[in-house]
């Protein structure tokens, strides 16, 4: 049998090639027609008020606080108030046993009196009795000199007349010389008995004694303890007849309507804080209760707080009503920006190509990449944990894709999708 012509074999190859192409195209056509659209969660662009805030923890402390500690070891004689009682300035709070404090004060006052007398004596050349004795001795020595000088003069006349010997005159002159020495010595003893070092030492002892009186008086004043402010007794660890050591806290009065919070913000957040920003405060011990305040001092330095590096921020509570107790550990949320009636979409819709933000709009069940604007450098848009402000590129009611329900499915431009809310 003769072999088939070459032209026939070429025609067969072409036919089989065309058949293969038709099969492949048919496969992809059928697959395309039967392929299910990707299910994606969607949301609409809407106008709302957006808030940017930062939350942290803080500790409550009163702005007006009167805290009393025992000045010395002793016994509580009586307590006149109860924990939680409201008191006025000057109201009696408690009394300590005053026997020891009174004795200490009396001893200190006596020491001051003795030291003051010593200074006066040195400044005046001795005590009053000593000065009287010295004065009498000086008068006696001066009188004796006058008498001896008169005797010497008389003997000198008699010697000129030959009635007195040279020895008698010499003896009288020696007595006058001795009288001069005695008078001079007594005058020096009276006027220069003490020197500057003696006076300086006496004044130093007086200053020490006066300081002891101040300390003793403070201790005695602390025996009868009265409130210096109007407030509430928020700490009262002692009872009648309790024995306390020096330094132990006895009572604390605080104005619970004037409170401050020391809050600790993480280092990346402190650049957003400024004086006057509004704050909301919650406390787990008062479920459902919210207080309000404002920042009075933004962080000025970074410190280590436990395992965190934070900035200390002071917050004044504007509506403290007595329910927010000192030393309470609270949660605070500072509002750093608030933009009313702005167009926004969920944050999950926002994507970036380098520095260019964009979203996928859903149009006719297909994804359409759409570049958007997020404010300007002078007026940045708010981007918080859940929402992002859109200042250009979208209109109210536009549908945007969030995420695919299939976690390994990437969203790309032109992808056919099945939107779900």
CATH code of residue 234:
2.40.50.100
Within-domain flag for 42: yes
Average pLDDT, the chain: 87
The CATH number of residue 296's host domain is: 2.40.30.170
Within-domain flag for 227: yes
Among 305, 327, 349, the domain boundary falls at 327
The CATH number of residue 406's host domain is: 2.40.420.20
Do 311 and 302 contact (CB within 8 A), yes or no?
yes
Do 120 and 172 sit in the same domain of this protein?
Answer: yes
**Cβ atoms within 10 Å of 413's Cβ, excluding its own:** 11
pLDDT band at 421 (very low <50, low <70, confident <90, very high): confident
pLDDT band at 56 (very low <50, low <70, confident <90, very high): very high
Do 91 and 233 sit in the same domain of this protein?
Answer: yes
User: What DSSP string describes 255-270?
Assistant: -TTSEEEEEEEEGGGG
Do 174 and 264 sit in the same domain of this protein?
Answer: no
Please tell me the least confidently modeled range out of 73-77, 290-294, 343-347, 349-353.
73-77
pLDDT band at 17 (very low <50, low <70, confident <90, very high): confident
Q: Which residue in 385, 278, 377 sits closest to 335, CA to CA?
A: 278
Q: What is the pTM of this model?
A: 0.59
Do 146 and 198 sit in the same domain of this protein?
Answer: yes
Could you tell me the residue range of the domain that residue 299 belongs to?
A: 57-63+255-327
Do 345 and 196 sit in the same domain of this protein?
Answer: no
Do 400 and 363 contact (CB within 8 A), yes or no?
no
The helix (H) or strand (E) run that includes residue 412 is none
């Amino acid at each position: 049998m003769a072999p088939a012509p070459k032209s026939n074999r070429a025609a067969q190859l072409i036919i089989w090639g065309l058949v293969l192409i038709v099969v492949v195209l048919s496969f992809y056509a059928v697959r395309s027609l039967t392929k299910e659209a990707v299910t994606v969660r969607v949301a609409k662009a809407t106008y709302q008020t957006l808030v940017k805030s930062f939350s942290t923890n803080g500790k409550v402390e009163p702005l007006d606080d009167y805290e009393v500690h025992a000045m010395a070891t002793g016994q509580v004689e009586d307590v006149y108030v109860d924990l939680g009682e409201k008191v006025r300035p000057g109201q009696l709070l408690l009394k300590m046993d005053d026997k020891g404090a009174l004795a200490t004060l009396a001893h200190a006052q006596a020491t001051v009196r003795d030291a003051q007398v010593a200074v006066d004596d040195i400044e005046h050349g001795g005590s009053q009795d000593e000065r009287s004795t010295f004065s009498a001795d000086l008068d006696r020595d001066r009188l004796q000199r006058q008498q001896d000088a008169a005797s010497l003069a008389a003997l000198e006349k008699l010697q000129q007349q030959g009635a007195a010997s040279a020895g008698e005159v010499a003896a009288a002159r020696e007595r006058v010389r001795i009288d001069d020495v005695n008078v001079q010595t007594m005058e020096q003893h009276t006027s220069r008995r003490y020197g500057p070092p003696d006076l300086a030492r006496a004044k130093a002892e007086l200053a020490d004694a006066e300081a002891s009186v101040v300390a003793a008086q403070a201790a005695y004043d602390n025996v009868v303890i009265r409130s210096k402010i109007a407030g509430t007794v928020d700490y009262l660890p002692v009872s009648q007849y309790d024995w306390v050591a020096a330094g132990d806290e006895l009572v604390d009065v605080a104005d619970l309507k004037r409170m401050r919070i020391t809050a600790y913000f993480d280092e990346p957040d402190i650049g957003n804080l400024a004086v006057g920003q509004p704050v909301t405060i919650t406390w787990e011990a008062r479920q459902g209760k919210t207080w309000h305040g404002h920042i009075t001092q933004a962080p000025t330095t970074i410190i280590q707080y436990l395992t965190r590096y934070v900035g200390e921020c002071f917050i004044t509570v504007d509506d403290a009503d007595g329910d927010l107790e000192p030393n309470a550990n609270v949660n605070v949320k500072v509002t750093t920006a608030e933009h009313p009636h702005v167009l926004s979409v969920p944050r999950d819709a926002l994507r970036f190509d380098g520095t260019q933000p964009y979203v996928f709009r859903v149009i006719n069940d297909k994804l359409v990449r759409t570049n958007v604007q997020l404010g300007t450098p002078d007026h940045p848009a708010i981007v918080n944990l859940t929402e992002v402000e859109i200042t250009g590129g979208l209109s109210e009611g536009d549908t945007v894709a969030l995420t695919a329900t299939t976690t390994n499915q990437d969203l790309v431009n032109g992808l056919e999708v099945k939107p779900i809310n």
